[in-house]
Chains A and B, each alone.
Chain A
């Protein structure tokens, strides 16, 4: 359990989260919170997330959907007078929460991110058709058909402009050395798990 305003959780973040060692440098000026175009739409702007980490609010932070709402616009990073890599920390926190299985279920950004990763990890290239369909159908078959119908004209337009190949549905193209690619991903995961003490 992390205690209030003690450094346990901050230390955890410093060790486990990408760029987490920057959290202590936040001087609470609120510039990031004011700069974030999505700020008003989520529970905790970066400023608050950083204070919550320092206040030891482990559960609240890791279960928050705030990090998932970051659109990577980098407004905050550009403006932060303390030069915190805020966007990276937000993504690092999201990733960490996801790995711990604490991130909010059914969070759309998270779902998309998972789909995207799985899609990419299969062949080494993004299969746009499968990715789009995966998103359309994430909430069940009927909703999927509805989504696909709604996007029909866009899809056809893309096919015509040769931005989308219907044949991708059957297998699709990938990197040359798929086995090597998978071995590489496995190794990378091993290294990261070891470094961050994930079993």
Chain B
């Protein structure tokens, strides 16, 4: 790149010119910001203003642009200059809209604006233009693992969109759970009758589709690489191995029914006439529309009882704690098998809550119409007596301890357990703790592995350092961000769809699979352009590492939420560009600070916070640094300002990619340069996390929990650093948090470190 030339532009529009002394701001940019070129404009984002900047870039060899106008979240198109480094000083949302329009406030408002100009100039000088990776490659094929309805849907949808698909199914035929069904619950209006499953049609469509290559009796025995360039080893039962190159992966490995052998109290294993839902489908398939026979003796089934929530929604800790969301409609459908062949058969569904998501309500009504009896009750036990069973239950409407004495068949709705492979999260947590010096978790983990317990079999067999499968959420379902980006796992380019992601029925699974297919295509295309995936989609910057300085501490490798970092033979970190989501968590983690991005680094943030003019001890003007996550906290601040919610004029806000990217050096720097307090605002973490980078805010609060010692060494109060969880909707709360914190700082008093 040519020599750096910084130009600063100060906008006077949107009332900025009325509320601020823009000439003074221009002076600050010139003198303190050392901008080579400074211009004021009355309406910077209009065609003329933008053209002015363009012309300067073209004619004046400007390489770095600092725009003092609205928030960086506004006017992104007008100010989206891709050929220069750009920083924005947020004078509108960040200053005039969040400050009172009074004479007394004029001085502090102006000071705020001047600081943001200083910060913008300081930041832009440390930025370089992200170049992207011109050598980025991409395979346009999508790998689908699992040949059930979800997998088949994903394959067909990806193919329809013009992409090649490799479909790997571990059994000898496509269809999965659906292939075992006699009929499916209805997926279309009027949602009244069981329908044929789509398996045969989909199977035929896949066979006829030249874009889809199917491997049966096969598993993905090795998965290496990254989005755009995965390399897959496919092993078949016969021992042969094939290799495929793909750009993205969809895991649609479905579920298994919860093992009914865990439910002896419900008669399973004690009477042949107690079956699970799969058992009943088998009986119905065998009967093929005819009379369903009693398994014990082939006798006529006159009374059949369906027991809902068998080993589900269990709060004793013995069985599944969650609802599988599809068993109720399955039982309605199965009761119809009987009613449709002979309306005189008594079919009783005993439920605690009948949950019929989507259009299932119509199906339920149809079941009632056919005379299926629904009884709200809790089954306590099932006793076998000859060729019949006695179902003991508590009728919750009549508050009656009662029984059905002569059930010929009892069907247990046992629910879905995801087939998601190896749980790598426990290990990851242990690794992180170990890296921070606490070995107890790791020891416990190793002990649990040694006990000889049956370990789940890996699905993807990833060669990633972080483990062979995608991380799992609560109850073993594969990872996904429920609120912002379902399907997207923490392994970039690997998506999960269907019941392996959360319990669901066939309608939802097909919708899910379609969504995952679209996401996979996005990943392929982004990878080809060297761009990041969600949520920084389009970002061309990428962590650069100064390996000479690396101490091989492995913090980055372990803490990267996306498994983007492997290790080479010499135990140096290997950054995989297309797996990286550009969150900066590695940068926040690195104790020797050798990781940075072209446009976001220890320096860009560090020099911003140092550029702020910190008044002396006697000014009674404290300074509070806010590091606000750009995903939720910063937008919330902007929106608070749009609503003219006023907050303290003593704060200076720096947006960060994620709290995970916050390096403790920034905190140290801020405190030692005299700031009176530091507020960090990130997303909610924990099991119901909202963090866009999944682990970032959690890691940050973990790191910050260790900052107490540093504060003590500096002789500072613990309250001088505080972390907050903020949601994008906290428009009222965020200004309140700021004001409360400012009041607290007032209470503690000014920092003793000013002026050193």
Contacts and interface: CB of A to CB of B under 8 A. Distances in A.
Interface in B573-619: none
B398 interface: yes
B373 A7 contact: yes
B368 A24 contact: yes
Nearest to B302: A6
B398 A6 contact: no
A47 B348 CA distance: 18
A161 interface: no
A5 B405 CA distance: 10
Given A4-B405, A7-B373, A51 B346 contact: no
B346 A6 contact: yes
B64 interface: no
A5 B376 contact: no
A28 B397 contact: yes
A121 interface: no
Interface string B335-360: 00000000010101000001000000
A25 B398 contact: no
A54 interface: yes
A4 B344 CA distance: 15
Interface in A45-84: 47-48, 51-52, 54-55, 82
Contacts of B303: 6
A93 interface: no
A5 B398 contact: no
Given A5-B375, A6-B303, A7-B373, 8 more contacts: A3-B406, A6-B346, A27-B368, A27-B374, A28-B374, A48-B398, A51-B395, A55-B400
10 contacts: A4-B403, A4-B404, A4-B405, A5-B348, A7-B344, A10-B373, A24-B368, A51-B395, A51-B398, A54-B375
Interface in A97-140: none
B373 to A, nearest CB: 5
Contacts of B368: 24-25, 27
Contact of A55 (B365, B371, B402, B405): B402
Interface of A: 3-7, 10, 24-25, 27-28, 47-48, 51-52, 54-55, 82
A52 B398 contact: yes
Given A51-B395, A51-B397, A52-B398, A5 B369 contact: no
Contact of A24 (B346, B371, B395, B402): B371
Interface in B374-415: 374-376, 395, 397-398, 400, 402-406
A34 to B, nearest CB: 13
A47 B395 CA distance: 13
Interface in B16-64: none
B369 A28 contact: no
Nearest to A6: B346
B373 A24 contact: yes
B371 A7 contact: yes
Interface residue range, chain B: 20 to 34
Interface in B423-449: none
Nearest to A82: B365
Contacts of A24: 368-369, 371, 373
Contact of B397 (A3, A25, A47, A82): A47
B398 A55 contact: yes
Q: Which of A5, A10, A25, A51 has the most CB of B within 10 A?
A: A5
A120 B665 CA distance: 97
A3 B403 CA distance: 11
The 3 closest A-B pairs by CB, nearest first: A51-B397, A6-B346, A5-B404
Nearest to A30: B397
Contacts of B344: 7
Contacts of A82: 365
Given A25-B368, A55-B402, A5 B374 contact: no
B375 A51 contact: yes
Contacts of B406: 3
A6 B369 CA distance: 16
Given A10-B373, A27-B374, A5 B346 contact: yes
Interface in B478-505: none
A64 B99 CA distance: 72
B377 to A, nearest CB: 10
A48 B376 CA distance: 11
Contacts of B400: 55
Contacts of B395: 51, 55
A101 to B, nearest CB: 25
A42 to B, nearest CB: 15
Given A28-B397, A48-B397, A55 B375 contact: yes
Contacts of B405: 3-4
A55 B374 CA distance: 10
Nearest to B372: A24
A24 B348 CA distance: 12
A4 B303 CA distance: 11
A185 B397 CA distance: 41
A48 to B, nearest CB: 6
A5 B373 contact: yes
Contacts of B364: 27
A198 B62 CA distance: 102
Nearest to B367: A24
B308 to A, nearest CB: 14
A39 B501 CA distance: 46
A5 B400 CA distance: 12
Contacts of A55: 375, 395, 398, 400, 402
A27 B303 CA distance: 21
A3 B406 CA distance: 10
Nearest to B348: A5
Contacts of A6: 303, 346
B304 to A, nearest CB: 11
A82 B365 CA distance: 9
Contacts of B376: 28, 51
Contacts of A28: 374, 376, 397
A174 B395 CA distance: 52
Nearest to B364: A27
B403 A54 contact: no
Nearest to B391: A5
A48 B396 CA distance: 10
A166 B365 CA distance: 56
B350 to A, nearest CB: 9
Contacts of A4: 402-405
Contacts of A54: 373, 375
B387 to A, nearest CB: 17
A52 B375 CA distance: 10
B335 to A, nearest CB: 12
A92 B195 CA distance: 37
Contacts of A25: 365, 368-369
B441 to A, nearest CB: 48
Contacts of B398: 48, 51-52, 55
Nearest to A26: B368
A3 B368 CA distance: 19
A47 B398 CA distance: 9
Contacts of A5: 346, 348, 373, 375, 402, 404
Q: Which of B364, B368, B371, B373 has the most CB of A within 10 A?
A: B373
B361 to A, nearest CB: 9
Contacts of B375: 5, 51, 54-55
Nearest to A25: B368
A21 B179 CA distance: 37
